[in-house]
């Protein structure tokens, strides 16, 4: 058994580690969180888990396999290439949830970009009462209550879940479509343009004087980095 | 609707819209008054920052009236918006006193802001709908986990009475092969079978119907077992599920 392999870029991979990651991912029906994958490897891999996954996917590409690994919901998971998915589905009755209604999509979008947000704030944006639709989103575990707002009545605050990420096929909130700008800009409005570490991001943006709205992800990330470095 | 009279007066003096100008009658699901307004604005390529309030108000009210004429329930929010539109229109009609109303003091501003804010989420949700559809075409590793028969959550279809009857019919076919001519007294009661089923389910959470019934028994045995099953379902001691229609039926103990 050879213990190492080298990819096109000439990076060395410990075969044992690569296989271990492959084995763990293969066994996991849910997306395997990155932090758990890191625990799998005893020593810290030089290129990180991501490079091992890329390496595996390169192999699958080269061998023309029916599956790949992809980043989803802050983790990694095997999936079938679309061509095979449609074929395989004939043999298994894959249970799919109903699609969201336009009201459901609208509401979950508002929660995703504005989280944490109260139902009252959602209703203000939508212009209609949203009891039922928020309830449905809760039942489908796409959103969850995360606490209460510090104001009269202490209304519940809602945020999206990791199932939300899975449902829309994204690895984190930065992959949501960009919100269009609203001009003139309202002062004091803070939008979550897809940053997971919302508070960190918001405070970083505040400190650096960046308005936390519709910044591109990379910009937001650099801002955060700069702050933490300084 | 008490508002109707007043609203009528408000736009009676406005020139009626020509056929071309009036919006096409279209019944579709709007998510709320903002959605309806956006539709009217988009449909006529109106500049959202410079909404002709009189025209839009008229169309909006036409729409509401139409919904009422069709006996569709008009949610309170729609009526509230109608009132808001009329209020804005009234303010626009009021004579401007010099210096009193600056450019910033456009009575439409609040509405425009609400529309713009709503629109960006509406647009985002439309993009997310595309992501949703794309994602549904992808088969992920976990999508197969339902195949494990040991977990009750994975049962997908509630077996209906019809399914039970059909399954029973299959079982009866098995029994029909052996004709019986003797008249015998069968010592089997529903109570006995109820106890038998409960005993089987004592140590396991679930079993399949085929495993539950013993083979090569008299028809009466199957009839009584079936009745016992129905009795237990009625008493909510057990439930019946299946993976798919016409699939094997599983009997599951309810705790």
pLDDT at B10: 43
> What pLDDT digit, counting tens, does each position of B198-207 carry?
888 888 888 8
pLDDT: which is higher, B247 or A163? A163
> What pLDDT digit, counting tens, does each position of B92-132 carry?
888 766 555 555 578 888 899 999 999 999 999 999 999 99
Interface of A with B in 86-105 (CB under 8 A): 86, 88-89, 92-96, 99-100, 102-103, 105
Give contacts of A105 with chain B, Cβ < 8 Å: 125-126, 128-129, 132
> What pLDDT digit, counting tens, does each position of A11-69 carry?
677 888 899 999 999 998 889 988 888 888 876 666 688 889 999 999 999 999 999 99
pLDDT at A137: 95
Interface of A with B in 32-61 (CB under 8 A): none
Asked whether the beta carbons of residue A85 and residue B137 sit closer than 8 angstroms, the reply is yes
> What pLDDT digit, counting tens, does each position of B224-239 carry?
888 888 888 888 888 8
Segment A143-155 mean pLDDT: 92
CA B30 to chain centre: 16
Give contacts of A141 with chain B, Cβ < 8 Å: none
In angstroms, the CA A177 to CA A190 distance is 17
Q: Is the pLDDT of residue B5 over 50?
A: no
Rounded to a whole number of angstroms, the distance from the CA of B203 to the nearest CA of chain A is 28
Taking a C-beta distance cutoff of 8 angstroms, is the pair A173, A192 a contact?
A: yes
Segment B46-55 mean pLDDT: 88
pLDDT: which is higher, B138 or A124? A124
Residue A13 backbone phi and psi in degrees, to 5? -125, 135
Across the interface, which of B29, B119, B131 has its CB nearest the CB of A102?
B29
The per-residue DSSP string of B61-79 comes to HHHHHHHHHTT----HHHH
pLDDT at A125: 95
This model of the complex carries an ipTM of 0.72
Taking a C-beta distance cutoff of 8 angstroms, is the pair A133, B29 a contact?
A: no
> What pLDDT digit, counting tens, does each position of A76-133 carry?
999 998 888 878 777 776 777 889 999 999 999 999 999 999 999 999 999 999 999 9
pTM summary value: 0.60
pLDDT at A26: 92
In angstroms, the CA A133 to CA A135 distance is 5
Rama region for A169: left / alpha / beta (φ>0; ψ in -120 to 50; rest): left
Chain A's closest residue to B243, CA to CA, is A93
Asked whether the beta carbons of residue A168 and residue B243 sit closer than 8 angstroms, the reply is no
Taking a C-beta distance cutoff of 8 angstroms, is the pair A192, A179 a contact?
A: no
In angstroms, the CA A107 to CA B166 distance is 43
pLDDT at A185: 42
Contact residues for A193 (Cβ-Cβ < 8 A; gap 6+): A113, A174, A178, A179, A212, A213, A214, A215, A217, A220
Across the interface, which of B81, B135, B244 has its CB nearest the CB of A167?
B135
């Amino acid at each position: 058994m050879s213990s190492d392999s080298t990819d096109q870029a000439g990076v060395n991979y410990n075969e044992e580690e690569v296989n271990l990651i492959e084995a763990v991912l293969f066994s996991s029906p849910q997306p395997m969180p990155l932090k758990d994958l890191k625990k799998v490897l005893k020593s810290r891999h030089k290129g990180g888990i991501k490079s091992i996954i890329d390496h595996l996917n390169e192999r699958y590409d080269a061998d023309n396999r029916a599956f790949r690994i992809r980043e989803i919901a802050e983790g990694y998971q095997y999936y079938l290439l679309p061509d095979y998915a449609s074929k395989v589905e004939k043999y298994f009755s894959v249970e799919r949830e109903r699609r969201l209604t336009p009201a459901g999509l609208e509401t979950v979008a508002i929660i995703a970009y504005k989280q944490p947000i109260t139902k009252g704030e959602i209703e203000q944006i939508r212009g209609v009462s949203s009891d039922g639709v928020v309830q449905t989103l809760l039942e489908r575990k796409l959103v969850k209550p995360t606490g209460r707002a510090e104001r009269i009545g202490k209304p519940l605050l809602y945020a999206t879940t990791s199932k939300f990420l899975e449902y829309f096929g994204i690895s984190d909130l930065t992959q949501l479509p960009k919100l269009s700008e609203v001009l003139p800009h309202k002062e004091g409005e803070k939008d979550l343009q897809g940053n997971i570490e919302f508070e960190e991001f918001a405070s970083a943006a505040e400190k650096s004087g960046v308005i936390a709205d519709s910044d591109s992800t990379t910009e937001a990330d650099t801002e955060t980095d700069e702050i933490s470095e300084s | 609707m008490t508002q109707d009279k007043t609203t009528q007066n408000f736009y009676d003096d406005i020139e009626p819209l020509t056929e071309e100008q009036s919006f096409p009658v279209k019944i579709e699901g709007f998510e709320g008054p903002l959605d309806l307004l956006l539709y009217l604005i988009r449909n006529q390529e109106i500049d959202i920052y410079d909404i002709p309030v009189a025209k839009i108000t008229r169309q909006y009210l036409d729409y509401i009236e139409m919904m009422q004429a069709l006996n569709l329930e008009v949610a309170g929010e729609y009526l509230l918006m109608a009132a808001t539109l009329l209020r804005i229109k009234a303010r626009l009609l009021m004579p401007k006193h010099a210096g009193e109303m600056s450019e910033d003091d456009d009575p439409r501003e609040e509405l425009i802001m609400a529309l713009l804010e709503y629109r960006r989420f509406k647009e985002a949700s439309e993009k997310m709908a595309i992501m949703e559809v794309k994602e549904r075409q992808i088969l992920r590793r976990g999508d197969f986990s339902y195949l494990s028969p040991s977990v009750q959550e994975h049962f997908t279809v509630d077996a209906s009475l019809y399914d039970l009857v059909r399954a029973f019919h299959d079982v009866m076919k098995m029994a029909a092969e052996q004709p019986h001519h003797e008249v015998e007294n069968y010592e089997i009661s529903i109570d006995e079978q109820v106890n038998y089923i409960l005993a089987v389910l004592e140590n396991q959470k679930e079993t399949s119907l085929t495993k539950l019934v013993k083979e090569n028994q008299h028809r009466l045995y199957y009839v009584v077992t079936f009745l016992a099953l129905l009795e237990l379902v009625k008493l909510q001691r057990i439930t019946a599920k299946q993976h798919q229609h016409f699939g094997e039926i599983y009997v599951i103990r309810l705790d």
